[in-house]
Structure 1
Amino acid sequence: MVAATESYAQAPGGGPKPEVGVLTLHPQSVAITAELPGRTTASLIAEVRPQVNGIIRRRLFTEGSEVEAGAPLYQIDDATYRAAYQSARATLQKALAAVPSAEAKVKRYENLIKQNAISSQELDDAKATLAQANADVAVAKAQVETARINLTYTTVLAPIDGRVDESQLTVGALVTANQSTALTTIRTLDPINVDVTQSSTNLLNLRKAVEEGRIKLRGDNITVRLKLETGTLYAESGTLAFVESYVDRTTGTYTLRAEFPNPDRLLLPGMYVRALVEEGIAENSFVVPQRAVSRSTKGDATALFVTEDNKIEQRILETNSSVGNNWLVSDGISDGDRIVVTGSQFVREGADVTTVEVVIDETTGEVSELKQGAAAPDDPATLALAAEAGPKQKPGAAKD
């Protein structure tokens, strides 16, 4: 095949015209999507710590399981706290018992003062005693409540719903209130957050395109898709939760957070992902395969086109951004233009050619099939075109 291609390329002017694969371009609405790197994070994280001192008597959960908020996790020895609670209740009963006597004394002194049987000082002392008794009751009630809370804290409860990690301490370990070492950690995995970074340059370019009318924003509810480390797309779609209001001075980037449902717990915190953020829509725009565009020595994006009289023409294109395996082009293309996708290495500007329409696989950017086969299967140009398109498109291939 190589020999046939070389002899064809060097054929004299009287030989057959070179054949190229072309794609006819039409304006369309293009979703502008930014592919940004990021990592998954739990939507809620709670480090569980004891709020009282004591010895751990029991662990009440299975490590790695799902727990609900309020579920018991640890049982701390409560003997001293139960005794303190009973003592506080007894103190309250004692304080309550002193109140009726003080109230009766005040009422009796109020009657006696009318008969001038006692002095005003004695009545004032009786009222002070009653006030002191009522204050003792209030203090005792507060002590009972404090003792009750401390007794409740001997059962360590889950503060949030989520998946619980391994236990950092075992039964028999001594714990202290608000210690630095967490007993365990609970992470809420559904929903799960994805934190990605975007450069401030891209943000400015996007806003400029919006101001110029080249891109229309989708609105407040921005859809986000997720590409996993394996290259596959995550089945669930997410939404953009918030955008940070400052740019990092070191990296020149800012953070975006997207929220995704995670019912099957496929996503775990810390996983590397790539978020596909739909920024807006470019209406009446052209996209060309990246394989059809090359760079000149000056850095300009160039491509070969076939004119109406089937001659090769080279143009300079203004490419704005990549859209999958395509370039979004803002200048240099008109409706119905035919761009050369395959066979460009065998032609030069001004050459007469024959064309064959091709189909591009959007997932790979490669030629997936030929729409028609104008040339004979053994034609060298068709052989070269098929070789460039891939082994499956080789004309004349035997069928099983």
Structure 2
Amino acid sequence: MSLRVEIVGTLHAADEALISTKTEGVLRRTFVEVGAEVDPGTPLAQVDRVSYEVAVAAAEAALSETLARLGTPDVPDETFDLTEVSAVQRATAQFENAKYTYERLSRLGTTVAEQELNDAAARLRVTEADRRLALDEAAALAATAGERAALLRSARQKLTDTLTPAPPLPTTLGREGAQRWVVAERLVTEGQYVNVAEALYRLIVMDPLKLRSRVPERYAGVVRVGQAVELETLGRTAPVVGRITRISPDIEASSRTFEVEALVDNDGGATKAGTFATGVIVAEDETPVLVVSAEAIARVGGVTRVAVVKDGTATWREIRSGRESKLEVEVLSGVEEGERVILRPNSALRDGIRVAEKQR
């Protein structure tokens, strides 16, 4: 049975992003206004750069001073040789000289005064300690260089972050399209002081739009992802076409309905987000069912009936209906396959009245 499940709902932006600043300061410039279309990466707002430029210069100077003391133009890594540092080389040379002097005096034996030998031994111990201290200081200096390099990267990133760009477009829409953002709201003004994480703009995706609608529980078995949706909106003569992308697994107990979402083509943004829409889900049910023409249905006082014709005599029969479309109504009980019914039955029709059959 082919069904056209009637729905109503609101067309929302398929996605939206609240754009916030990563830095604080005076907002020097806003680049776009409400309604503008922007590509990913387009500049949106600029925070004053001066204090961040000063911070970068200070971080560069501090790192340069540390690297100069290490005697290298590059930030040391795990392969850096501490023995190449000039202070370590000087301490090593003094240690080697003291070691040579002590060994030379030791070989002379009794010809050397005991005090002179003791002085040489003491100098050897001092220069050895100085060498170890120079190595420790060089290691600490290398660590300081790494820390200052990280601070410089952070300062440069903050300087970059004074310019807020439009973010990448969402990749979860399940289709191509969505090539640009649209500015839905500007939340700040030039000259205003903004804090970190303060909202600047609200951007939305206008094509496609996302329909959210609630569907009666009885259609849970036939409404599926991928089915077509045909919608009508005020101000547009042609129907808006889309496809179901998500179906809620829950049925709301109070209304006995479940929510569906559909992505709907928007012809480059012709329909505004928030527009009310009416339409149908074009559903297909492969299970054989018994149906009658919608024209055969008569409803009085909450009772659904059809007029059945047998041997030229009409009889009203109450039925239990199921799914409905504009052309057909599913019959769950009350009539059997092959029985004939009267189309557009007159309310004055009485049981047992003779009728002339005319097939259609």
TM range (shorter): 0.7 to 0.9
Select which of 303, 316, 326 maps to 2:328.
326
2:165 is the counterpart of 1:157 = yes
2:308 is the counterpart of 1:305 = yes
Structure 1: how far apart are the matches of 2:88 and 2:281?
77
Shift of 1:253: 4.8
- What residue in structure 1 maps to residue 131 of structure 2? 123
Q: 2:86 aligns to what SS in structure 1?
A: helix
TM-score (norm 1): 0.67
Structure 1: how far apart are the matches of 2:4 and 2:131?
85
Letter in 2 for 1:236: V
Select which of 349, 352, 360 maps to 1:350.
352
TM-score (norm 2): 0.74
Shift of 1:235: 3.4
Asked if the contact 2:315–2:351 (Cα under 8 Å) also holds between the matched residues in 1, the reply is: yes
Q: 2:204 aligns to what SS in structure 1?
A: strand
Select which of 210, 215, 218 maps to 1:202.
218
Asked if the contact 2:212–2:259 (Cα under 8 Å) also holds between the matched residues in 1, the reply is: yes
Structure 1: how far apart are the matches of 2:13 and 2:344?
47
- What residue in structure 1 maps to residue 188 of structure 2? 169
Deviations 1:178-227 (A, max 9, x none): 23xx222100122322222345x537xx45xxxxxxxxx58x64314042
Structure 1: how far apart are the matches of 2:137 and 2:354?
116
- What residue in structure 2 maps to residue 265 of structure 1? 269
Correspondence list, 1:31-46, <5 A: 31-46=2-17
Structure 2: how far apart are the matches of 1:283 and 1:252?
23
2:121 is the counterpart of 1:141 = no
- What residue in structure 2 maps to residue 71 of structure 1? 42
Structure 2 spans left out of the alignment, 5+ residues: 73-81, 100-123, 169-179
2:54 is the counterpart of 1:83 = yes
Shift of 1:142: 1.4
Q: 1:133 aligns to what SS in structure 2?
A: helix
Structure 2: how far apart are the matches of 1:338 and 1:183?
67
Asked if the contact 1:73–1:158 (Cα under 8 Å) also holds between the matched residues in 2, the reply is: yes
2:207 is the counterpart of 1:190 = yes
Structure 2: how far apart are the matches of 1:346 and 1:172?
78
Structure 2: how far apart are the matches of 1:294 and 1:123?
106
2:226 is the counterpart of 1:222 = yes
Number of aligned residues: 311
Q: 1:83 aligns to what SS in structure 2?
A: helix
Looking at CA atoms only, which structure, 1 or 2, has the larger radius of gyration?
Answer: 2
2:239 is the counterpart of 1:234 = yes
Shift of 1:281: 0.5
Shift of 1:292: 2.4
Letter in 2 for 1:312: A
Deviations 1:366-391 (A, max 9, x none): xxxxxxxxxxxxxxxxxxxxxxxxxx
Structure 2: how far apart are the matches of 1:324 and 1:150?
61
Shift of 1:52: 1.7
- What residue in structure 2 maps to residue 287 of structure 1? 291
Asked if the contact 1:225–1:277 (Cα under 8 Å) also holds between the matched residues in 2, the reply is: yes
Asked if the contact 2:31–2:44 (Cα under 8 Å) also holds between the matched residues in 1, the reply is: yes
Shift of 1:277: 3.9
Shift of 1:126: 0.5
Structure 2: how far apart are the matches of 1:282 and 1:318?
21
Q: 1:151 aligns to what SS in structure 2?
A: helix
Shift of 1:282: 4.9
Q: 1:189 aligns to what SS in structure 2?
A: coil
Q: 2:240 aligns to what SS in structure 1?
A: coil
Structure 1 spans left out of the alignment, 5+ residues: 1-29, 208-216, 359-400
Shift of 1:72: 0.2
